[in-house]
Chains A and B, each alone.
Chain A
Amino acid sequence: MSQQAEQTELARSADQPDAGSAGLAGSASHGSPATVSSPARTRLTRRRRIRPARIVMFVTMIAVAVVMLYPLLYIVMTSFKSEVQYELGGGFSLASWRILVSSQPILRELLNSLIVSSCAVALIVVISTAAGFAFAKIRYRGRTLVFVLVVACMFVPLPSIVIPEYVNVSRFGVLDTYWGAIAVYAALGIPFSIFLMTTYFRGLSDDLIEAASIDGVSMWKMWWRLGVPLARPAMFTVAVLQFIQIWNDLLVGLLFLQNINDRTVTVGLALLSSGRVTSIPVLMAGSVMSIIPPIIVYLIFQRHLVRGITMGMGK
């Protein structure tokens, strides 16, 4: 959908005097202490009529959804074909699923992925929320330098540093536990997450913090009771994006979890796309298994993304 088309739609709706959208009024407000009016209530107070602009927007989103979801559908459908059926077209079969399950301990691998990803993400969220708040809201000497140093680490691609990293970490003898991988994943995810958190915190106005400071609240309480709750959307985004990134990573998992019992699902699936013979349906079946947990993580926590804030402390 082109920006052009979108602007035209919005222009069309500009003719109506009550064209203010529910969204603008209903977005998460950090300024007022009261709970924000829900979209439904706002809409009910307006005249109920379907504006052509919203139909166009709706249709556009349908098109977008189709484009985005079609590959997922393809993956699922292909997983239910056998190799022969896939090459010649048509048919339904569980053969590929059987091959997948018999070729590796997929449940064990999913568990390993879950453990490693969750621990790393937990570390990342905590560390980046703390640092993001500090960089954005607290003035102290040297913070810009530290901030730039941390964020600049994001620009170095993984393959370049993975071998020195490996050599270093292997000296600590943690390679047959989860901890080496967790530590490396956390370190790799922190620059991006701090960048996002800091950007987000800076976008929040300082009014509340000023008000709290007048009451003589310490920086600690400020962070814990004010910054963290306000940052829920960003924490969610960091958590989900990092979870998916870590979940789908191959290189670190391959090198830092050499114990076959600790193997993650992405490393396991790499076996399916190795070398000359790749059974696409089996690969797709594996992909289905691998996609489900990140999807569940997203679905469980997505309501944090746009919610009104109920303040724990009064103004």
Chain B
Amino acid sequence: MLRRRSRLIGGLSVIAAAGLALAACGNSSSSGSSGSKITLTFWENYGTQLSLLNTAKNLIHAYEKLHPNVTIKMVSQPANNYFALLQASAISHTGPDLAVMWTGLYLPPYADILANLRPYISQSTFNNIEELQWGAEDFNSSKAILAMPVDAQFYMGFYNKKDFAKAGIKQVPQDWNQLYAACTALKKVGVTPIVYGSASASYTGEFNPWYDFSYLMIGALQPSQWEDLYNGKIAWTSPIVQDQLARWHQLFVKGCVNPDALTDANNLGQFISGKAAMTTDDGSWDVGQFTQEMKGNVGAMPPPFSVAPQHGVVYFPGDAISVMKESQNIPAAANFLAFMDSPAGAAQIAAAGLIPDIKNYQSSNALNSQMLGFVKSGYTVYPMLDNVTQPQIVNVGYQVLPALMVGQTSVASAVNAMYVKHNELPVAQRSSYAAYFGG
């Protein structure tokens, strides 16, 4: 028995020794430059999202061909805790050169570990980028540029054309009444009008309400008024907000929504198969899958959450890449990002099915084209509401808004929760965007 225990300890020591040996020959993660050869490390949190992964791979491939002395190493990091990891790596000086970053109010907490790219990229490149301000300091594109957008994203609803035809819906709904009417027609032919679920949630176990909430606020307010939501001039408890939320809840009351809206893990599958006719809780990230599996049967539909005909879209570059201040290769890294947002880079991004974030881009994908068409035809452009709302309130929204949709909580108590949280924020976080940056 003693022998067995020593054998056990002996076995473990062998493993430990092997581990030490392996560790000794593990390469370090620091990027060095010997001679003119440069290696850049790029941290991404794309998980298994093929469109983003392929975009990155395409860009890196093309860039390395143009610049043979540069190698870019992609390192995958888990999306959860990604930002904590990034901050931790800055503390220990073990961070990457390039790192995925989100724009809007996701940016300020990390502003002091990101490099200003303005000195390294030409103004003409900057001028060609859509909605650049959301990656800039104080959201002002004449100040420091901290993050370069990868692609332009839409929050968007989609509809199944065959289901619409089956129910005799000739025109895509553009306001609340038309939506309710479409609902009734679809229910008559046994199709779930709108399907919600957890499959397209990015951050919680239940559906992400901020896609719909963005459109609810589009139906009620102009883009400039959204800053009033931010600084409290328009309180979350104001009648405009409550009115929209009440109409949204009516969708559930009228049976337009699947009863397991909060827990359906297969909502995308139900939409693709035609069991459900519409999904409003969605965006450009599903275009690839929809195009592939539904072909021409799918159309884009800005959620018509408005009393008057709805002519707004959420068009926003949420995904971006930054250069870390700690990097030893800032010029080289910035050069790569300049390439990404150039026409040459745009071709690579488009090849992966995404919409490059440069001006006047034409897409060959039908859905992307349709969505860009809205912008071109003069629809008002809005940012993503959760990217311009304080994170504390976004978290409250994750809790109360889905519950509100299915009637687990009332409109009044839901908006009150957000209102109370808003008043708890330090003054700097509810006055201006610049104040949030600490400037």
In the complex they form, whether A and B have CB atoms below 8 Å apart is answered with: yes
Residues of chain A at the chain B interface (Cβ within 8 Å): 87-88, 99, 103-104, 111, 114-116, 118-119, 122, 163, 166-167, 170, 175-179, 228-229, 232, 250-251, 254-255, 258-262, 267, 270-279, 282, 310, 312
B276 to chain A, nearest CB (A): 14
Residues of A within 8 A of B92 (CB): 166-167, 170, 175
- Given contacts A166-B92, A254-B81, A272-B48, whether A114 and B15 have CB atoms under 8 Å apart is yes
Within 8 Å by CB of A275, from B12, B24, B46, B89, lies: B46
Within 8 Å by CB of B78, from A166, A178, A270, lies: A270
Report how far A122 CA is from B8 CA in the complex, Å. Answer: 9
Residues of B within 8 A of A167 (CB): 91-92
Are the C-beta atoms of A310 and B28 separated by less than 8 Å? no
Residues of B within 8 A of A277 (CB): 47-50, 285
Are the C-beta atoms of A176 and B26 separated by less than 8 Å? yes
Are the C-beta atoms of A271 and B47 separated by less than 8 Å? yes
**Can you identify 7 A-B contacts, CB atoms within 8 angstroms?**
A166-B91, A250-B81, A251-B81, A258-B29, A274-B48, A274-B78, A312-B1
Report how far A252 CA is from B97 CA in the complex, Å. Answer: 23
Report how far A258 CA is from B48 CA in the complex, Å. Answer: 20
Residues of A within 8 A of B28 (CB): 176, 259
Report how far A229 CA is from B47 CA in the complex, Å. Answer: 47
Top 8 closest pairs, chain A to chain B, by CB: A274-B47, A170-B92, A274-B79, A270-B78, A115-B19, A87-B269, A275-B47, A275-B79
B209 to chain A, nearest CB (A): 15
Chain B 18-47 near chain A by CB (<8 Å), digits 1 or 0:
111011101111000000000000000111
B119 to chain A, nearest CB (A): 29
- In this assembly, does B124 line the interface, its C-beta being within 8 Å of a C-beta of chain A? no
Residues of B within 8 A of A229 (CB): 1-2
Chain A residue nearest to B14 (CB atoms) is A118
Residues of B within 8 A of A259 (CB): 26-29
- In this assembly, does B80 line the interface, its C-beta being within 8 Å of a C-beta of chain A? yes
Q: How large is the interface on B (under 10, 10 to 19, 20 to 34, 35 or more residues)?
A: 35 or more
B359 to chain A, nearest CB (A): 27
Residues of B within 8 A of A262 (CB): 23, 26
Report how far A289 CA is from B262 CA in the complex, Å. Answer: 31
A311 to chain B, nearest CB (A): 10
Residues of B within 8 A of A275 (CB): 45-49, 79, 202
- In this assembly, does B425 line the interface, its C-beta being within 8 Å of a C-beta of chain A? no
12 further interface pairs, Cβ-Cβ under 8 Å (given A118-B15, A170-B92, A278-B47): A104-B76, A111-B22, A122-B16, A170-B94, A175-B94, A176-B94, A178-B23, A179-B23, A276-B200, A276-B285, A277-B47, A279-B48
Are the C-beta atoms of B27 and A119 separated by less than 8 Å? no
- In this assembly, does B266 line the interface, its C-beta being within 8 Å of a C-beta of chain A? yes
- In this assembly, does B66 line the interface, its C-beta being within 8 Å of a C-beta of chain A? no
Within 8 Å by CB of B2, from A170, A278, A312, lies: A312
Within 8 Å by CB of A271, from B15, B22, B76, B200, lies: B76
Chain B residue nearest to A239 (CB atoms) is B8
> What number of residue pairs across chains A and B have CB atoms under 8 A from each other?
125
B352 to chain A, nearest CB (A): 14
Report how far A65 CA is from B315 CA in the complex, Å. Answer: 53
Are the C-beta atoms of A267 and B48 separated by less than 8 Å? no
B159 to chain A, nearest CB (A): 20
Residues of A within 8 A of B85 (CB): 254-255, 258
A110 to chain B, nearest CB (A): 13
B 264-288 contacts with A by CB, 8 A: 266, 268-269, 273, 285
Residues of A within 8 A of B80 (CB): 270, 273-274
Residues of A within 8 A of B16 (CB): 115, 118-119, 122
A34 to chain B, nearest CB (A): 15
Residues of A within 8 A of B76 (CB): 104, 271
Within 8 Å by CB of A273, from B24, B47, B266, lies: B47
Residues of A within 8 A of B20 (CB): 177-178
Residues of B within 8 A of A114 (CB): 15
Residues of B within 8 A of A175 (CB): 92, 94
Within 8 Å by CB of B269, from A88, A111, A116, lies: A88
- In this assembly, does B434 line the interface, its C-beta being within 8 Å of a C-beta of chain A? no
Chain B residue nearest to A310 (CB atoms) is B1
A217 to chain B, nearest CB (A): 16
Chain B 362-388 near chain A by CB (<8 Å), digits 1 or 0:
000000000000000000000000000
Chain B residue nearest to A224 (CB atoms) is B2
Within 8 Å by CB of B88, from A115, A255, A271, A279, lies: A255
Residues of B within 8 A of A258 (CB): 29, 85, 89, 94
- In this assembly, does B308 line the interface, its C-beta being within 8 Å of a C-beta of chain A? no
Residues of A within 8 A of B75 (CB): 260
Residues of B within 8 A of A260 (CB): 29, 75
Report how far A310 CA is from B3 CA in the complex, Å. Answer: 13
- Given contacts A255-B85, A276-B49, A277-B49, whether A261 and B202 have CB atoms under 8 Å apart is no
Residues of A within 8 A of B29 (CB): 176, 258-260
Are the C-beta atoms of A261 and B19 separated by less than 8 Å? no
B 68-89 contacts with A by CB, 8 A: 75-81, 84-85, 88-89
Report how far A103 CA is from B46 CA in the complex, Å. Answer: 12
Report how far A87 CA is from B92 CA in the complex, Å. Answer: 43
Report how far A258 CA is from B84 CA in the complex, Å. Answer: 13
Residues of A within 8 A of B266 (CB): 87
- In this assembly, does B9 line the interface, its C-beta being within 8 Å of a C-beta of chain A? yes
Residues of A within 8 A of B78 (CB): 250, 254, 267, 270-271, 273-274
- In this assembly, does B235 line the interface, its C-beta being within 8 Å of a C-beta of chain A? no
Chain A residue nearest to B91 (CB atoms) is A167
Most chain A CB inside 10 Å of its own CB: which residue of B18, B24, B46, B88 = B88
Report how far A272 CA is from B45 CA in the complex, Å. Answer: 10
Residues of B within 8 A of A163 (CB): 84, 88
Chain A residue nearest to B28 (CB atoms) is A176
